[in-house]
Amino acid sequence: MLMRIEAFLFSAAICCAAKVTPAAPKWPSGASVSFEHEDLLSDFKIRAQHYLSRAQKSARWDINGGASKIYLSYKDLDTSGMYYYHPVTSAGGKNETACHYYPSTPVDVATPEIPASVFFGLDDFYFERNVTVRGIQTEHWKMMTTNTLNYIYVSYDNYSGKIEPGLVEAVFNYTNPTSRRNPSWANSKKVFTDYKPSEPGLEVWERPKDVECKEVDGDVGQYMVYLLATYMALPMNQAIYQLFNDPTNFYLMSSMRMNQQLSTPEAPAEDDQVLEGGLPKSWDWRKHGAVTEVKDQGICAGGSWAFGIVGALEGAYFLKTQKLVNLSEQALIDCSWEFGNSGCFRGSPSSALEWVMHYGGLPLTQDYGRFQEGHGHCEASKFKLAGPFTKFVQVEPKTSAVKLALIQHGPLVAKMVVPYNLRYYQKGDVVYNSAQGGPEHYVVLIGYGTLNGDPYWLIKNSWSTKWGIDGYGMISSEALNILDSVHYVEM
């Protein structure tokens, strides 16, 4: 009872003290806390458990019930860095665990003394006011820059006879006025529960001994950087700003296999003359009911292959059954490792379809669960599969052939290159055209047409409705190697 009275009096003092700026919270040397990360643009939520120890110079995150784990360790210089443990599947769909290791720190947001954490210093914050959040009396700390607006809500309570600060909620907002597309941590909220201001047990820092950790390559490292930026819950700083605004870093833009030169496209006008009268002047599968809503691959940077092939599968299913269903990209991310795909690191539609044909179909999203922007245990065998799908056919890289395949076989999966400035595309009265190269990226090709004399391909992207024309784009027929690798699916 006495402890409760002390905590109440302490809160009352905070509440009623007039025009007194409190001291910034002093976080404990070790702590653990649960939190829910919410992307404020998409309402997507991920839950995680976080551990911190300055004594061990370590931090850890268990994501979605421990399906994936991140360890940051600085205690031993020979093994310091980031370790990412995640599910994969082996032959027969058996779930196993893999590990990737990023030496040192992926981005300059941590020091050996204070690991990257939700428990960050408030040097750039100032005290705003006392406010009640979710029924709890808190101190409201605020940070503002040109592109950021960050809030931290801190409460005080009695823990083991000592008044300690605790996190209640944090809201991070980063906006780029020239882009409608920001990473999921940039407009996010974190709600914290089960805060314990004490050193976690030593067993928390023991990594699995029976799993070999491989040093990362470019594709894996890219995803790990986004993963760390999302879960460490740090507000926007210069290091992260540079990461996501450096033209050499294509965030959320597929894998980093670069195509430095574009092939010479075929002149579309000549092809149209060959089949003049045999094909409509424009086509849009949305008007015929074969296209589901625009989806969002989030921080799953190398996962566009899953969204591309699923768009083609959904179209083929519609043509066969006259039913439009949402098929699960997450099932492909989780389950198709045994056929050569690598989840959010990299993959290919052809390998994905091998898995789909081998197991007889793909689960519905409503059954398997919404996309998690990461890796989970494969559970496809628990659900009824939509299918079977029988063919995966590459279309001849000619404008007339692609138009004909599009009309006869439904939405197509297409691979294209992604110049840096494509992220800023958002005008409905302009056909995007660029001679630049970029990383490979898969999209769903759903139509074609002409705007102001410029022929274009109509694509459905997987960068949310905040990109392009509500998630769609008109890509010049003379750009991005879009005809080099186009496939259709049949049931």
What are the pLDDT digits (tens) for 124-151?
Answer: 789 999 999 989 999 999 988 777 788 8
What pLDDT does 121 receive? 65
Task: Report the C-alpha gap between 125 and 148 in whole angstroms.
Answer: 12
In this structure, the answer to whether residues 220 and 278 fall within a common structural domain is no
**Residue 303 pLDDT more than 50?**
yes
Query: Confidence band (pLDDT; 50, 70, 90) for 423?
Result: confident
CATH number assigned to the domain comprising residue 451: 3.90.70.10
In this structure, the answer to whether residues 186 and 216 fall within a common structural domain is yes
In this structure, the answer to whether residues 22 and 85 fall within a common structural domain is yes
Query: Where is average pLDDT lowest: 215-219, 301-305, 373-377?
Result: 215-219
- Given a contact cutoff of 8 angstroms between Cβ atoms, the answer to whether 194 and 34 are in contact is yes
In this structure, the answer to whether residues 262 and 237 fall within a common structural domain is no
What pLDDT does 186 receive? 65
In a domain, residue 484? The reply is yes
- The pTM of this model reads 0.84
Q: How many percent of the chain have pLDDT more than 90?
A: 48
Last residue of a domain, one of 211, 245, 279: 245
In this structure, the answer to whether residues 116 and 222 fall within a common structural domain is yes
**Residue 172 pLDDT more than 80?**
no
CA distance readout (Å), 245 to 97, 175, 176, 178, 416: 33, 12, 9, 11, 22
In a domain, residue 396? The reply is yes
Burial 420-455 (b: 16+ CB within 10 A, else e): bebbebbeeeebbebeebbbbbbbbbbbbbeeeebb
Q: Which domain holds residue 479?
A: 258-490
Query: Where is average pLDDT lowest: 102-116, 189-203, 404-418, 444-458?
Result: 102-116
Last residue of a domain, one of 245, 276, 308: 245
CA distance readout (Å), 462 to 80, 182, 264, 294, 391: 35, 13, 26, 6, 24
In this structure, the answer to whether residues 103 and 203 fall within a common structural domain is yes
Query: Confidence band (pLDDT; 50, 70, 90) for 17?
Result: very low
In this structure, the answer to whether residues 266 and 239 fall within a common structural domain is no
Q: How many domains does the chain have?
A: 2
What pLDDT does 487 receive? 97
In a domain, residue 253? The reply is no
Q: How many percent of the chain have pLDDT more than 70?
A: 80
In a domain, residue 424? The reply is yes
Last residue of a domain, one of 187, 213, 245: 245
What pLDDT does 232 receive? 64
- Higher pLDDT residue, 459 or 79? 459
CATH number assigned to the domain comprising residue 108: 2.50.20.10
- Given a contact cutoff of 8 angstroms between Cβ atoms, the answer to whether 472 and 458 are in contact is yes
- Given a contact cutoff of 8 angstroms between Cβ atoms, the answer to whether 150 and 172 are in contact is yes
CA dihedral 29, 35, 39, 45 (to 10 degrees): 150
Q: What is the mean pLDDT of the chain?
A: 82
In a domain, residue 89? The reply is yes
In this structure, the answer to whether residues 230 and 278 fall within a common structural domain is no
Task: Report the C-alpha gap between 461 and 296 in whole angstroms.
Answer: 8
Burial 213-234 (b: 16+ CB within 10 A, else e): beebeebbbbbbbbbbbbbbbb
In a domain, residue 250? The reply is no
In this structure, the answer to whether residues 296 and 198 fall within a common structural domain is no
Query: Where is average pLDDT lowest: 36-40, 166-170, 205-209, 486-490?
Result: 36-40
List the Cα angle 210/63/43 in 5-degree steps: 155
Cross-strand pairs, 487 = 394, 413
In this structure, the answer to whether residues 272 and 173 fall within a common structural domain is no
Task: Report the C-alpha gap between 268 and 118 in whole angstroms.
Answer: 54
In this structure, the answer to whether residues 353 and 214 fall within a common structural domain is no
In this structure, the answer to whether residues 10 and 155 fall within a common structural domain is yes
What pLDDT does 80 receive? 83
In a domain, residue 75? The reply is yes
Query: Confidence band (pLDDT; 50, 70, 90) for 84?
Result: very high
Give the total residue count for the chain: 491
What pLDDT does 175 receive? 65
Task: Report the C-alpha gap between 341 and 337 in whole angstroms.
Answer: 5
What pLDDT does 184 receive? 59
Task: Report the C-alpha gap between 344 and 255 in whole angstroms.
Answer: 9
What pLDDT does 58 receive? 86
